[in-house]
Amino acid sequence: VCVLCRRAEADPVICGDKVEKHGLCAHVFCLYFAMSLCQQADPRVGLMGFNPRDIQTVVRRAAQKRCCVCGETGATIMCCEEDCDKWFHLPCAKEGHCVNEYIPPY
């Protein structure tokens, strides 16, 4: 189960592949889009360059955020529209008509 979106199964086109290391499992795009989660320069550090401690901090903060689509807690992505305070899980984005853009390099 992805620690960020809490889904065991999710569309890989939307969420990316699942990666596991250091006892953590997450979808690649869930990592990239999570608020306040920064990737280190060295991809060998942590989970694809994301520090496990930072991931756990994001998960703890997300416990207070409710997804505007499904209503469940644990939303890790905040709308980037100015003055919008909506949060959502990445797999809920399509159903909620949220627009996500990922343009490499991240």
Residue 106 pLDDT > 60 = no
Domain coordinates of the chain in residue numbers?
Answer: 12-96
59: confidence class by pLDDT, cuts 50, 70, 90: very high
Query: What is the structure's pLDDT at 17?
Result: 94
Pick the residue with more confidence: 104 or 66?
A: 66
User: What is the second-level CATH architecture of the domain 12-96?
Assistant: 2-Layer Sandwich (3.30)
Q: What pLDDT digit, counting tens, does each position of 20-50 carry? A: 998 899 999 999 999 999 998 888 888 999 9
Q: What is the mean pLDDT of residues 83-106?
A: 83
Query: What is the structure's pLDDT at 105?
Result: 62
Residue 27's H or E segment, with its range, is: strand 24-27
Residue 68 and residue 37: Cα distance in Å, rounded? 20
| pTM for this predicted structure | 0.88
CB contact at 8 A, 25 and 33: no
CB contact at 8 A, 81 and 92: no
CB contact at 8 A, 35 and 54: no
Pick the residue with more confidence: 103 or 16?
A: 16
Query: What is the structure's pLDDT at 6?
Result: 94
| 3 state SS of 59 | helix
